[in-house]
Structures are given as C-alpha cells and as structure tokens.
Structure 1
Amino acid sequence: MKTKLFAAAFLAAGLGMSGQVAAKDTLTLGIGLEPPHLDPTGGAAAAIDEVVYQNVFEGLTRIGPDGAVLPGLAKSWTVSDDGLTYSFKLRDGVRFHDGTAFDSADVLFSIGRAMAEDSTNAQKGLFEPIAKIEAPDAATVTITLKRPTGHFLFNLGWGDVVMVAPESADTNKTKPVGTGPFTFDRWSKGAEIRLKRNDAYWGAAAKLSKVSFKVMPDAASSAAALMSGDIDVFPNFGAPELLEQFRADPRFEVVVGTTEGETILSMNNTSKALSDIRVRRAIAHAIDRQAIIDGAMFGSGTPIGSHFAPHHPAYVDLTGMYPHDMAKAKALLAEAGYASGLKLRLTLPPPSYARRGGEVIAAQLAAVGIEAEIIPVEWAQWLKQVFKTTDYDLTIVSHTEPFDIGIYARDSYYFNYKSERFNQIYADLTEAVDPAKRKALIGEAQKVLAEDSVNGFLFELAQNGVWKKGIKGLWANRPIQANDVTAAYWE
C-alpha cells in the first residue's frame, strides 16, 4: 500500500495539481552558421540577426512575419504632408537589460553612431536620406529627410537600425545589451548561444524562459540532433534531401515558407575576364538554374533572373533573358577572346546551397570551357576575403536582406558594379512615394541588372523549417533575416 501511495504522490508531483503535464517553457533551435559576433549594427552576417533580432535588440519599428511594418520602440508616428519629417512617440518605461533607461537620447546616439564616418554598420545606406535628427523631449524623436523616401519606415525595422545604449554599445559584440524580451545569457563559441527571458521587459513577457541556439553547420548532424531530441526546431534546415524523412515522422512538422534570399553566383565585375560583359553573359547562358535547384537543393527553390524576390508584387520574371544555351555561351567567350578557355576562382562559403551548388555550377561552366577552381572557405574568411577585400572571381551566396536591390547602387560593394543608369533609377525609386511609380521603377531596376548580367541570378532560397509538433508562434516565412521567438510557445 505504501508503494502505491508513494508512486501516486510522485506522479502527482510530476503532473502538478491540475493533473496535466507541466508546460515546457524552453526551446532549442539549430542554426547553420555561427555569427561572427552579436552586434547587428556592426556586421553584415545574417547569422547575427538570426539570433538577436527582436529577441535581444529592438528598433523604432519592427518587421512582422508577413513583412508589414509594425510599431517597435516607437509606439506611434506622424509624417508631414511633404513626406520629409517623421515624428516618433517613444514607449514609456523601456529599459535596457543593464537597467539604464531608454529615451530619445539613445535614439540620437544609435542613429548618429550608425551614420558616423567611422561607422562599421554594414547598411549605412539606410541612413543616407536622413538630413537631421532631433529630440524635442525625452519621449519624442523627429527625423527630417533630405528627400521623400518611400521605404523609410521599413528601413527602420532592419536589424542594422536597432537601438543601443552608449553605456554598452562598445561591448555588444560579445555581451549584447538591448531592450528586448530576452537577455543574453552565455556564448559557448562553436557550439551554443543562450538567451533567457527578460522579466523586466516593457511589453508582454515572452512565454519561453530560455532559448538556446545551437550551431550545426553539418546537415547530417542537424538531422540526427532533431531525431534524437537534442534540438526542437531547425527554422531554416539546410538539407532539403532529408525533408521526406521528417514528413513521414509524426513527431515533426515540415513547414516550407518564403525568404528574401536571392541566391546568386556573385561576380567580381573588376576581375580581368569578368569586367567584359560578354564573359558575364556567357556565364549566364552556361547556367542551368533548374538543374542547380534540382541537383543542389533537391527541387527546393524558385528560379530568378534578377536580384528580386518572386513573391513581391513588383517582381519581373526575367529568367528567359539568358536561356541555358551552351553554343551561345561558347560563342560569347570566343568573341571576348577566350575561345581556348578561361580559368576562374570559385570561392565557396560553408552553407550547403553554396557548396553543393558550386559543384553543379563548376560542371556547367566546364562544359563551355570555363574551369572554375573550387576554393572552400569558412564564413569568417569569406567575409574578409570576398565581402571586404573583394579578392575573388566568383562566389555563391544568398542575400537575405529584405528589399536589398539598392546594394547595386553602392560604391565599392563587393560586386564592384558601377552603372549610372542603375544609380539614377534607384535614386528615383528612393524618392518615389506613389505605389504605381515605385512598382515601375523596381521593374526597370531589375531589367538593368539582368541586361548587364551583373551576377548569375540563380534562385530564391526557400525556408524549409523542421520542428517538433506542438511548437507554436514561429515564423513560417522569413521577410527579414531573423528567428523571432518572442511569440513562441509549446502547445
């Protein structure tokens, strides 16, 4: 009798007074790349935002799961009739994780720091339209623009424009201090980044008490970790060939969504051979997009013909501009003086789409006389060698920033592309407010990039999410590079 009573008491303790199993309040996510650091205002790697955007750091506005602009640390705003002056009302009672108060002075500091000449912000172009920023009082910020900028509120929602405090900005790379619903706990380099719930959060408290991001660049180990229960969810699972086994397992859900990830064969437009548009067009004709999608991504992805997401209403389908045509590719190479062949370096970062896609593309290029020497590099080396110093010929990468066609108007961006025609179109676009005019200009911009064959435009990366059944509140789509877990919970 005592044994039965003890067992019953033990069971009751495990189930709780209600007789139900206690709700789980922790979550472990797998991520494919480890961020180089944790300050989204000081680096270009998407892996930074994938951990800290909205979870740790917040901006004046935020981007929702459907891509809509939502209030963030600014609870409301007004826009002047001429479209030049934005007046933001800040939320009350907001504090950074170290206890310091957030007010308009922090907004001035954050934006001023990002705009500074010595700024390391990877998206300084987002701040270029700003003429001046003022703080009439602690709860109000007024931003005056040089010209109307139709996507200004959306730009303020990027991870690069989150608010930081002067007291902690210099150490955010290793000890991030934001205003979000989670605080930084610890970082085990090469393995895991942990966050914990911010019990002093200004808004609705997160339902999860702890969140762990485990670094798993290898597809096989990622799948094994999911199957064994070591991780609960892999929001952007990098092995589409393994999805069927998870679809067949009742413990899991496979959710396929869209991303802003234009996957491209980036070309250094100042590399000797690639400075010739005939060579770039030859490469465009040599590429078989569907074969790359099938061979490297197991059918997961949407072909693109320019740098723009197919789900956007302003998308123009330009995939037919350079049909797969080996004879045309060889003729263009011969015309450019490379009838006997050409050798280029193909520098590949770690993601599976790049490594596997590189093998397929190298074979396609070889078929028209281009020898692509495959050079695998780690992510940190890619950022330094390719992105910063442009020491490369070809590379493969997904540009996951939202509405980022403007990167082609930047000076000294890693493509080294220069076009007065494109720059003028983009300048007109940034000033345009009328939706019809904006759509037309976006279409023109796409066509110029395709005509100039700036890069090899491959496919739009799909978001293949695998997670345990019962997890709710995660994003199915990825309108911005983020793993926002602020609304996640276990059912």
Structure 2
Amino acid sequence: MTNNPIAAVAASILALGLTLGVTPAMAAKMDVTIGMQLEPPNLDPTGGAAAAIDEVVYANVFEGLTRFGADGSILPALAHSWEISEDGLTYTFKLHQGVKFHDGSDFDAEDVKFSLDRARADESTNAQKALFADIASVEVVDPATVKVTLSKPNGSFLFNMAWGDAVIVAPETAADNAAKPVGTGPFVFAEWVKGDRVDLTRNPDYWGDAVKLDHVTFKFISDPTAAFAAMMAGDIDAYPAFPAPENLVQFEADSRFLVINGSSEGETILAMNNKKPPLDNILVRQAIAHAIDRQAIIDGAMFGYGTPIGTHFAPHNPAYVDLTAQSAHDPEQSRALLAEAGVSDLTLSLKLPPPSYARRGGEIVAAQLREVGINVDITNVEWAQWLEDVFKAKNFDLTIVSHTEPMDIGIYARDDYYFQYGDPEFKAIMADLDKATDPAKRTELMQAAQKKIADDYVNAYLFQLARAGVINAKLKGIWPNSPTQANDMTGVYWEE
C-alpha cells in the first residue's frame, strides 16, 4: 500500500501492461471460416455423391484406413501399416489402438469389417460402390488387425481406400451420419445451420497429432458477388475454390490476401472420336494437337487460371510426367501433318457442354484450328444432350470436357468409352498396373500409360482445371492443390 499518487499511477500502468501482455489479442487466432459455393445435401460421405460432403468432413470428421496427402500420395490413417501377400490378393492392415469415435465408443477391427461389408453389400447406397467390388471377404484377426481378401489383384486398392466413400464408421451411429456425423477425426461435428454453415470443434480426445484450430466454420455462399464482399470484409478467412476467377486479380492487388492457383483432378481435354475418319488417322490427331495454344485458352477462357497438361494425369500427382512439349503449339507442323495425311478442306463438328471452360474454350479452339485450315462447326448442347449424343451415342468429332475423377487414366482402356481408343498395348499396361503393388513399379507403369496416350495423340490435352482460390495471407496450411474433394483443416493454422 502506498500513499504516493505518482507511484500508484505507475503501478496501475505496469499492471495494465502486464495484463495487455497476456490478452487474447497477442495470442494466435484459433478459429477459421471457410467459404464454399455449394452446401452439402448431407454429411455422410458413404451415402452421397456430392463433392461438397467431402469438402466438409474428409480428414476433418471422418477417416479411412488410408488417406490422400496434399500431393495426392497415399498415406496411413487409421491403419498405421499393412502387408500385401505375394499374389496381391490379401491386405493385412494393422490398426492404431486407443482410437475412439466422437461418441466415446472404441474403434477397432470390427468397425472396419462393418464399414467395408456395408459399402459393398447388395443394398449399399455408396456412390462409389465400384471401389469395393474386388473385395471377396473381410476378416477380423484381432481388435487391431483386419485382413481383406480380394477376388483378383487390384494395385489401386490402397488408393481406393483413401476415398471419402471408404471412411470407417461405427454401426451404432452409421444410420444418423447424414445429419449428425460421428467419426474418429480431429474435429467433432457441432452444428449444421441449414442454408448457412456447418460448425466443427476440436476433438480433445483425438488419437493422432493435435490440430491447431479450436473451431472451423464452413460458410455456404453461392453468389459470387456476396462471396467477394464477404472476403473483402473479413467475414471469410479462405475461399479455396472461389466462384468468380475474374475477381481474383483484385485480391492479388491487396496485401491482406493470397491467391492460390493450384490444380484439381479435372483434366480438361479436347476429346477426339478416334474411330471416325479422318480422326482415325494419328497424323490428323497430331495436327490438331499442335494447332492448340494451351496458354491462350487458359488466359482467354479461364482468366489465366489452369495448368497446361500434355497427357491425362494431374500435375500434382507424384507420378506425373510433363509431356506438354510433345504437343507444343506449332501451326506450321500442324499444316505439314495435314498435308502428309492427305487431308484438306476438313470440317469437324465441335459439341460443347454448358461449363464456361467448354463454351469459352471452344471458341478459342475453333479459331486456332481454322488458322491451320480446319473448319469447325460449333454446337452448344446441354448436359443431357451431351451425355446422350456424345458420351453414349459417340455422335461427334470433337468435344471439350473436364474429367474430374481422381487418377482416371484407366478410362483409356475401355473399348466402349466415348473417344473410342481401347489400344491393346495401353490395356496391357493397365492390366499390369492392376497387378502391381510395389510403389516404384506402379509409378513406372503410370508414367508409361501417360506416355502411351500422348504418343498416340488420343486427345488434345488442354489444362488441369484450376483450384483457384483466395485466403487470408496470415492463414497457413491450406492445400494449394486438390488431389481429392476436400478442405483438409488438419494442418491449418494462423501465423502469429
């Protein structure tokens, strides 16, 4: 106690300073709000096909035996290790112990058996039931070990188990996951305000590495103008897939924000009907490929957002081979190839589905082809007509479409697929890939497959659909690319 007023004021100032030194204003921010254009129809990734489901719950609420990493690699998740039999038919998974579901119940091998048997059952409503088609049986060896036996070798099995459709759920809560998801992940479902947001909170009992956020909100804003206003006002901290790429230049000029230009799983291609003359001639297909200026399409149709590709494979995948130089823009070579093929006065149809990448890109492609002497008749079609006329009936010369399924190069082995390739050598590569389980061998085969379709100029490969977004410049850990449909919050944090 002192009667000195100056000393009293000094003590008060010191106390205030000490108090300010520990205020939350000096601490790291522990919550984040993520913008999404589409609201999920439900929150059960094992019972719905909408990408927005995984964008909320993948790796955050639900986990599988394996999972996708930010670069598309396959990582351990609920299974910390596994052994594969020499014949490639048996996968023995060793599970993490001490794992609990969000309702407090224990996770063990019985939950794995339930989840996989449920996904592959005749009455299954799983949107990706084909992922489980090769499973012959699932056996519980002990609480921490499960043995999965396949009916035939499938080298993609670990990849398949990383999909959101393959997450592990508990029999006690599976029926209610659509509205009240219960998983094993680092975040717990808190609330779903329909038409507005989904809230997640930190799981204090999480079995793995602790996350750095206490609270995550997924805010649904479909209108691009409203999304722009929310970001500028600071109501949204990140919008990983911003709905209006034409506005991103404004964020680039603002030091508060960081614009991301990553890749998704969407290979955007100028597909060609390989069995329809003269497109059955590789010289004509090669000429078309060399007539294309990819960057001009990216700049003109996508406002600069997109990654050039030279084959049907995502650039963020560790097995990707950059083959863009093999089909580089070269109009003179294009004209020479057409002359070598004996083709002149060629007119081709170009049927374009509704997305802007197709409609805008199609006009640019048509102009580029006309420069080398190929006339193009453009027809804009709706999705139903495209599916019926192009995809099913194969009544087309050229079309532009994005293939958004993860690592879907296997479609080139299908004889009945709409661009009608089905080359025996390529099919042999894919058959070997199905049998291979060694990671190095699988990479070798995936690269051989990429090279084969580039060598055969099956299609003209344009660009990987961008994951173009905007984030607060102080927010770290947001995936720049999108190897799966997810907004993985497990490594996200605020820079202090």
Partner of 1:177: 182
Matched, 1:427 2:431: yes
CA distance in 1, matches of 2:141, 2:227: 51
What letter corresponds to residue 27 of structure 1 in structure 2? Answer: V
CA-atom RMSD in angstroms: 4.4
Is contact 1:386-1:414 (8 Å) kept?
Answer: no
Computing the radius of gyration from Cα coordinates, the structure with the larger value is 2
Shift in CA distance, 205/302, structure 1 to aligned 2, threshold 3 Å: closer
CA-to-partner distance for each residue in 1:192-224, whole Å, 9 max, x for gaps? 443333344344444333322233455544333
Shift in CA distance, 366/224, structure 1 to aligned 2, threshold 3 Å: farther
Counterparts of residues 153-168 of structure 1 (less than 5 Å): 153-168=158-173
Is contact 1:346-1:392 (8 Å) kept?
Answer: no
CA distance in 2, matches of 1:147, 1:208: 43
Partner of 1:195: 200
Partner of 1:262: 267
What's the TM-score, normalizing by structure 2?
A: 0.77
Shift in CA distance, 486/390, structure 1 to aligned 2, threshold 3 Å: farther
Offset, 1:36: 4.9
CA distance in 2, matches of 1:369, 1:388: 23
Counterparts of residues 447-458 of structure 1 (less than 5 Å): 447-450=451-454, 454-458=458-462
Matched, 1:209 2:194: no
Aligned length: 474
Matched, 1:406 2:410: yes
Identify which of 277, 281, 294 aligns with 1:289.
294
Identify which of 396, 421, 424 aligns with 2:401.
396
CA distance in 1, matches of 2:68, 2:178: 23
What letter corresponds to residue 457 of structure 1 in structure 2? Answer: Y
Identify which of 20, 23, 34 aligns with 1:19.
23
Partner of 2:35: 30
Offset, 1:182: 2.2
CA distance in 1, matches of 2:393, 2:77: 36
CA distance in 1, matches of 2:83, 2:251: 47
- 5+ residue gaps, structure 1, are none
What's the TM-score, normalizing by structure 1?
A: 0.77
Offset, 1:485: 0.4
Shift in CA distance, 319/240, structure 1 to aligned 2, threshold 3 Å: farther
Is contact 1:264-1:457 (8 Å) kept?
Answer: yes
CA distance in 2, matches of 1:44, 1:30: 20
Offset, 1:188: 5.0
Offset, 1:294: 1.7
Identify which of 365, 380, 383 aligns with 1:374.
380
Identify which of 56, 78, 101 aligns with 1:96.
101
SS in 2 for 1:95: coil
- Percentage of pairs with the same residue: 53
CA distance in 1, matches of 2:247, 2:191: 31
Offset, 1:62: 2.0
Shift in CA distance, 373/196, structure 1 to aligned 2, threshold 3 Å: farther
CA-to-partner distance for each residue in 1:214-246, whole Å, 9 max, x for gaps? 334555443332111121112234555544433
CA-to-partner distance for each residue in 1:263-291, whole Å, 9 max, x for gaps? 23457889xx7996469938656643221
Shift in CA distance, 264/215, structure 1 to aligned 2, threshold 3 Å: farther
What letter corresponds to residue 289 of structure 1 in structure 2? Answer: R
Shift in CA distance, 76/313, structure 1 to aligned 2, threshold 3 Å: closer
- 5+ residue gaps, structure 2, are none
Partner of 2:145: 140
Partner of 2:488: 484
Identify which of 232, 236, 252 aligns with 2:241.
236
Shift in CA distance, 180/416, structure 1 to aligned 2, threshold 3 Å: farther
What letter corresponds to residue 371 of structure 1 in structure 2? Answer: D
Shift in CA distance, 78/347, structure 1 to aligned 2, threshold 3 Å: same
Is contact 1:241-1:298 (8 Å) kept?
Answer: yes
Matched, 1:69 2:69: no
CA distance in 1, matches of 2:45, 2:479: 20
CA distance in 2, matches of 1:274, 1:100: 62
CA distance in 1, matches of 2:213, 2:456: 49
CA distance in 1, matches of 2:48, 2:420: 19
Is contact 2:319-2:446 (8 Å) kept?
Answer: no
What letter corresponds to residue 80 of structure 2 in structure 1? Answer: K
SS in 1 for 2:217: strand
What letter corresponds to residue 109 of structure 2 in structure 1? Answer: S
Partner of 2:90: 85
Is contact 1:132-1:145 (8 Å) kept?
Answer: yes
Identify which of 241, 255, 258 aligns with 1:253.
258
Counterparts of residues 213-232 of structure 1 (less than 5 Å): 213-217=218-222, 219-232=224-237
Matched, 1:474 2:475: no
CA distance in 2, matches of 1:118, 1:404: 26
Offset, 1:399: 2.0
Offset, 1:57: 1.3
Offset, 1:55: 0.9
Is contact 1:269-1:417 (8 Å) kept?
Answer: yes
Shift in CA distance, 291/33, structure 1 to aligned 2, threshold 3 Å: farther
